[in-house]
Amino acid sequence: MATLAGDVCGRSLDLELRPTELIVFGNPAVGTPLMQCQQSVAIDLPQKALIWQDAQDRVWLGYNQPAYLKQRHSVEGCDELLDRIAGVLDGLAQAATDPGE
């Protein structure tokens, strides 16, 4: 797992950017079977989530849905795995954005 702060990187070049964080994470026990289904999906792994603040000071969380990876890489025969990944990502996103957590 790694976190990259885009706004901090830009400051070193005197470039201004609202708060922007890229979180890189993954699990080889999940990613490897997905790559076995379609090797080209490796270009999008490990998974990433982007957190950014817009001009109205709203904070957003974005990530590539497994359905997008399926379509982008023509993944076939791994629907159960993709559904499991989607469930985990949705749960993480919900936990990260729930103000009660």
State the amino acid at position 12 in one-letter form: S
Q: What is the pLDDT of residue 101?
A: 56
Q: What is the pLDDT of residue 7?
A: 64
The string over 27-55, giving b where at least 16 C-beta atoms fall within 10 Å of a residue's C-beta and e elsewhere, is eeebbeebbebbeebeeebebbbebbeee
Q: What is the pLDDT of residue 12?
A: 73
* This model's pTM is above 0.95: no
**What gap in Å lies between CA 89 and CA 65, rounded to an integer?**
8
| Cα Rg of the chain, angstroms | 16
Q: What is the pLDDT of residue 8?
A: 65
Domains in the chain, number: 1
Q: What is the mean pLDDT of each run of 10 residues along the chain (101 residues)?
A: 71 83 94 97 97 96 98 98 97 90 56
Please report, for the domain that includes residue 24, its CATH number.
3.30.310.70
- Which structure tokens are listed for 30? 């999940």
- Domain encompassing residue 74: 2-97
Q: What is the pLDDT of residue 77?
A: 96
